[in-house]
Structure 1
């Protein structure tokens, strides 16, 4: 039995409580606190650990089931997948990239825009496209309690023939839609940096020009190392937290300043 978490979820945190519970449970599976085949704590017990309702706990476990990390046995409980340690390869890379954008893909959508445009120079470089190539650009704003918290933009090579409409984006991400079309994300590059809101981002996120924002950029690759998506999301710094549990030395080195700093 895992010890009770005395640090209850902070209600001021923008990330929904079920996402924070999911993040903690997933980290416990990743670092071996829950081992393959082991029965995890009940929904009621997990709710007590984090000070949340059973409904919130159930939603968190639903995400673990969705990620194939646990499975439910009717009348018996929820168990860690037997081959969970073997999932740390290519399939898990795609899941971890989705984790970074999870808040940006759940909740109420607003200002959905979809268009095919000429690829800008940065998209040409990131997606390895020639000048004059076309891309499918999708963008949306996510709201939390009526307040915009993030602005996301996705670029996909038009040659892939993706046909995306606004109703698709209310239930799936562009990355998920690529997977449904047969593309398999197996690796990628991710850059997280602090920046200042320009006029466009400030207007969309209803914040002041020059306000701090968190920017996450992902370039997603398929099995042939061909870029299949360029994804950029901006989070309001005053409305977003991303809880993590660090359990490897290199993770701690990043926090303690051993990571390179861009000058």
Structure 2
């Protein structure tokens, strides 16, 4: 890669990070002592003129004993009062997504990703660019990230990646290529160990399907990283949309438990 190509890619990454960050928020729990804990990441989307907050289901199930679930919004910790819907497994395959439709009051305060930026087509192999964006607790120390019980200073991180179309161990990880994207992540400069996108559960897998036409799409909800296989998995956003339509409040909800 020559200097000019590197500058183009660096600019592409910076613009993608800034765009993804507008729709990405940290998730907190607030316990009985009113102390918030950063537990994961969420993405806000628009679908059928409704505003939804998406995250990984295991982010919330791991915090089931907490009193309040909240998101970070412009430096403030803002409680979520609407009902959550969970799809942990579907058709025997790990799905691991939770969503809630935001109240009209909260929806008016956030910026939601337009439905036209939800990916419905397969990116071109070799011509796409993608990244995972979120708020890993491992990189946001509580003493620095949480200023007061109602305020935060958490920082988001992005990991540049590519879709791994050669992965063939789907049964080993209880995933399905029809339901999930497999992504792999690049190396640091100097050929050091691969970057590990740990702690980004619930964040977005963002894709530019064709770098010649750099429009950013949400491809999936990030759910898991396998260190020993050096790959990560995200639940495809088109499957998430199908689940929202099936399970949203005006539909009957069937329990999906592991």
**TM tier relative to shorter chain:** under 0.3
Q: TM-score with structure 2 length normalisation?
A: 0.25
Q: TM-score with structure 1 length normalisation?
A: 0.24
Higher RCO (CA-CA < 8 Å; seq separation 6+): 2
Bigger fraction of residues in helix: 1
